[in-house]
Chains A and B, each alone.
Chain A
Amino acid sequence: MLSFILRRLGTMALTMLCLTMVVFFLINLDPNLKKLAISQTEMHTSAEQLESWLVNHGYRQNFFSRYAQWLGIVPKQPVTDPATGKPARRFAFCNDPVEPTFSGVLQGDFGCSTKFKTTVASKLFPALGATGILMFWVLVVMVPISLLIGILAGMREGSRTDRTLSVASIASTATPEYVSGVIFTVIFASWLGLLNGSAASASRGITFYNFTLPVMTLAIYGIGYIARMTRASMVEVMTQQYIRTARLKGLAFGSVVVKHALRNALIAPFTVIMLQFPWLLTGVVIVEVMFRYQGFGYTLVEAAGNNDIDLLLGCSLVSVFIVLITQLISDVGYAFLNPRIRVQ
């Protein structure tokens, strides 16, 4: 088991290395650098000035050496100030070292955000905290509801409850966040006036009034999917011999479901819930933009829209990490929950 986890961690590290390299390459494509230079300098700068801005801020160094510097396995070189000829900080607003030091992601330095004029860490981690709160409430709403729907539907396959709930969950998987968000806002904010169509005030304090719509919107797409998986798992369990035995020895149907079926039927949904995180990440971006909630997704869109290289790299690192770690947890947890599967 331990060697399995170690091997998985090794693959994970390799995957992250490859992915960050790809992201680093794509972000640093020439057109993107030009756009960054244009947005960071005054209006109407000539092509030479743009080029010299890029050189002065160290964007024209060799690709691999820059990647290694960002990673922290090669000392980060300060740039030379063209006026004085002395080593200087890359950006005045975040304390880059003036002498060569190992200062990359491995040392915990995520770099400089050119859009927000601050360090990436001071922007990214509060945003992650805000998204964490959103995720927490989404899971609190999504998991119990979807498991309940799945169990009720799978309990008696083919019954009227099953058909109704199945069609409902298919309908919810056909509703991406930008559709449900619009529909919910129209119903609850515009017509009924019960809820707030914007969660901008939620960063100062979460209330039922401003936070319900984002949570609902984000949860609805996942509910259908998890419910369908739970239903399939429940249907399979209900055809097993031990369920029949329990029924034949005279146990009530409800007690069979709760005591015998439930524990076995909930193993598969656990994996599904864990693998749902990567999709939630996309959903988070849509919902945070739609409801103007200042979290991780909002930061990602701002970073991508403004070619904020270091911030976007930080965002991708975080999201890739989340995807990989949830995959690992789901594999390990599955082996842990299901004694029939034992990894060599």
Chain B
Amino acid sequence: MQLEYIGAFDVVLGVLARFWPVWISLVLVMGASFAYKKRLGLYGQLFDSSVGIVGVGICLFWLFTAIFASTVSPFNPLVQIPIMKDALPGAVEPQSGLVYLFGGDKLARDVFSRMVYGSQIVLIIAPAATGFALMVGITLGLPAGYYGGRIDTVLSFLANLVLAFPVILLFYLLVTPGIMETPIPYAMAGLFFLFPIIFFSVLFWTRYKKRPDRLYILLGLTLIVGGWVYAGLVFDADPFRIIHIDPNQLNIFVAVVFASSPGVFRIVRGLVMDIKTRDYVAAAQTRGESPWYIMLWEILPNARGPLIVDACLRIGYTTILLGTLGYFGLGLAPESPDWGTAIKDASRLLRSFIHPALPPTIALMSFVLGLNLLADSLREQSMKD
């Protein structure tokens, strides 16, 4: 049976039209941000430079694409329609009359829908893993930089140990189907996911220990929410069945956190060593504040600028790591629509078909580029102050 095709111009129009919820939200958010940029602090300052606007625009575009993925994509990313195998861009699917805008891949799935759904995986795992890495890095980096001495020696040695591992080797050792049968990923998850709970508990304790009315509410809230998420993620025992993570995704998550937290640790440690010589820290010490109060409420807020910039770059870097994992077929399911896996599948067949390769590569590149531009413009803005 012969497939019908629509022209190149119609393909472009069709793609633009499919993204309609994204355009609407983008216009609303960007317009509102631009109108109120004076009141929005650091985020508002981003709208002063064209680099910043482009960066925010790209990041929000992928964020909204991930949120509205089911509306934007015309097909299910996993469903195969045999007649569409290796279809060229613009082929019309005979039954529904919908178009395979970017063509079909070798398993006859819609490349466009897979790209759209791929953004969901990346935008959930990358920021979340970066968040956990930040928590681990901050909680360990603060005492290492503040106290120095033996604790610093030990922690720095451990961090350098992890950093001396080539990333790819680490993944080949930590993200294998075999390791899922051992308790190692769960032990590591149990350790890493403890850090946010410790962090917030100490944060509230040091600040409000003289004001029990607030302390108990905040501490209780931290422990309940933290314990709930912890039970859901590590033991897969969420009583409400809301928080659930597949074992192989947990494995990836843990490996990515493990690979990127030493970097955060080093940055935090360096920043703390610099900031602890300032006068306001000496003033707090003279007041008799506890060391953890000084670290969390005097030093950390003043280190936020470089940390925000680093977090942006790090989300991009984590996206690249996830792509690497997908490219080597580690961890993620083989039919998973994430960009790395799609690039792997398509790059094997570049000699015959190039159209399945381009959408995921350009998607991944543009998202990382957006984050890098965002980080660059944040750095520039924070230098102006």
| Partner among B173, B178, B364, B372 whose Cβ is within 8 Å of the Cβ of A23 | B173
| A181 contacts B by Cβ under 8 Å | yes
Work out how many contacts link A and B, with CB atoms closer than 8 A.
Answer: 125
**Other 12 A-B pairs with CB < 8 A, given A182-B361, A185-B350:** A11-B157, A15-B157, A15-B160, A179-B361, A182-B357, A185-B347, A186-B350, A197-B351, A282-B324, A300-B172, A312-B172, A320-B166
Contacts of B184 in A (CB 8 A): 26, 29
Least CB separation from B363: chain A residue:
A179
Is A278 a contact partner of B166 (Cβ separation < 8 A)?
A: yes
Is A178 a contact partner of B176 (Cβ separation < 8 A)?
A: no
Contacts of B167 in A (CB 8 A): 282
A sample of 28 cross-chain residue pairs with beta-carbon separation below 8 angstroms, ordered by A number, consists of A29-B179, A30-B181, A30-B182, A31-B176, A32-B178, A170-B373, A174-B372, A175-B368, A176-B320, A176-B324, A176-B368, A178-B323, A178-B324, A178-B347, A179-B323, A179-B361, A182-B343, A182-B361, A185-B347, A185-B350, A186-B358, A286-B168, A286-B324, A290-B347, A300-B169, A319-B169, A320-B164, A323-B166
* Contact mask for chain B residues 135-158; partner A; CB cutoff 8 A; 1 contact, 0 none: 000000000000000000000010
Contacts of B369 in A (CB 8 A): 170-171, 174
Is B365 a contact partner of A282 (Cβ separation < 8 A)?
A: no
| A55 contacts B by Cβ under 8 Å | no
Least CB separation from A176: chain B residue:
B320
Least CB separation from A301: chain B residue:
B328
Among A270-317, those with CB < 8 Å from B are: 278, 281-282, 285-286, 289-290, 297, 300-301, 304, 312, 315-316
Question: How many of chain A's residues have a CB under 8 angstroms from any CB in B?
Answer: 50
A178-B322 Cα distance, complex, nearest whole Å: 12
Is A170 a contact partner of B173 (Cβ separation < 8 A)?
A: no
| B340 contacts A by Cβ under 8 Å | yes
| A120 contacts B by Cβ under 8 Å | no
Asked, given contacts A18-B161, A181-B347, A190-B351, whether A31 binds B316 with beta carbons under 8 Å apart, the answer is no
A30-B316 Cα distance, complex, nearest whole Å: 35
| A140 contacts B by Cβ under 8 Å | no
| B327 contacts A by Cβ under 8 Å | yes
Give the Cβ gap from B52 to chain A, nearest Cβ, in Å: 12
Secondary structure dominating the interface of B: helix
Is A183 a contact partner of B182 (Cβ separation < 8 A)?
A: no
| A261 contacts B by Cβ under 8 Å | no
Among A195-213, those with CB < 8 Å from B are: 197
Is A178 a contact partner of B343 (Cβ separation < 8 A)?
A: yes
A130-B90 Cα distance, complex, nearest whole Å: 43
Contacts of B320 in A (CB 8 A): 176
Contacts of A26 in B (CB 8 A): 173-174, 179, 184
* Contact mask for chain B residues 282-305; partner A; CB cutoff 8 A; 1 contact, 0 none: 000000000000000000000000
| A27 contacts B by Cβ under 8 Å | yes
* Contact mask for chain B residues 342-385; partner A; CB cutoff 8 A; 1 contact, 0 none: 01101100110010011001001100110111001000000000
| B165 contacts A by Cβ under 8 Å | yes
Asked, given contacts A182-B343, A190-B354, A290-B347, whether A175 binds B365 with beta carbons under 8 Å apart, the answer is yes
Give the Cβ gap from A239 to chain B, nearest Cβ, in Å: 13
Contacts of B324 in A (CB 8 A): 176, 178, 282, 286
A34-B137 Cα distance, complex, nearest whole Å: 36
A89-B160 Cα distance, complex, nearest whole Å: 39
List residues of A whose CB falls within 8 A of some B CB: 11, 15, 18-19, 23, 26-27, 29-32, 34-35, 166-167, 170-171, 173-176, 178-179, 181-183, 185-186, 189-190, 197, 278, 281-282, 285-286, 289-290, 297, 300-301, 304, 312, 315-316, 319-320, 323-324, 327
Least CB separation from B313: chain A residue:
A173
Give the Cβ gap from A13 to chain B, nearest Cβ, in Å: 12
| Partner among B166, B178, B323, B354 whose Cβ is within 8 Å of the Cβ of A319 | B166
Give the Cβ gap from A103 to chain B, nearest Cβ, in Å: 25
Q: What 8 A-B pairs come out closest when comparing CB atoms? A: A31-B178, A174-B369, A174-B368, A304-B172, A26-B173, A282-B168, A176-B320, A179-B361
Contacts of B177 in A (CB 8 A): 31
| B51 contacts A by Cβ under 8 Å | yes
Give the Cβ gap from B94 to chain A, nearest Cβ, in Å: 29
Contacts of A173 in B (CB 8 A): 372
Is B182 a contact partner of A186 (Cβ separation < 8 A)?
A: no
Is A182 a contact partner of B161 (Cβ separation < 8 A)?
A: no
Is B346 a contact partner of A19 (Cβ separation < 8 A)?
A: no
Is B327 a contact partner of A178 (Cβ separation < 8 A)?
A: yes
A30-B178 Cα distance, complex, nearest whole Å: 8
Contacts of A281 in B (CB 8 A): 166, 168
Contacts of B169 in A (CB 8 A): 23, 300, 304, 315-316, 319
Contacts of A166 in B (CB 8 A): 376
Contacts of B328 in A (CB 8 A): 289, 301
A87-B327 Cα distance, complex, nearest whole Å: 44
Least CB separation from A171: chain B residue:
B369
Is B178 a contact partner of A323 (Cβ separation < 8 A)?
A: no
Is B181 a contact partner of A31 (Cβ separation < 8 A)?
A: yes
| Partner among A174, A189, A316 whose Cβ is within 8 Å of the Cβ of B350 | A189
Is A31 a contact partner of B179 (Cβ separation < 8 A)?
A: yes
Is B376 a contact partner of A170 (Cβ separation < 8 A)?
A: yes
Residue with the highest number of chain A CB atoms closer than 10 Å, among B177, B184, B350:
B350
A30-B182 Cα distance, complex, nearest whole Å: 8
Is B343 a contact partner of A320 (Cβ separation < 8 A)?
A: no
Is A178 a contact partner of B354 (Cβ separation < 8 A)?
A: no
Contacts of B354 in A (CB 8 A): 186, 190
Least CB separation from B178: chain A residue:
A31
Contacts of A174 in B (CB 8 A): 316, 365, 368-369, 371-372
Among B70-119, those with CB < 8 Å from A are: none
Contacts of A312 in B (CB 8 A): 172
Is A286 a contact partner of B327 (Cβ separation < 8 A)?
A: yes
Is A31 a contact partner of B168 (Cβ separation < 8 A)?
A: no
Contacts of A185 in B (CB 8 A): 347, 350
| Partner among B161, B182, B361 whose Cβ is within 8 Å of the Cβ of A15 | B161
Contacts of B157 in A (CB 8 A): 11, 15
Contacts of B343 in A (CB 8 A): 178-179, 182
Give the Cβ gap from B253 to chain A, nearest Cβ, in Å: 18
Contacts of A170 in B (CB 8 A): 369, 372-373, 376
Give the Cβ gap from B8 to chain A, nearest Cβ, in Å: 16
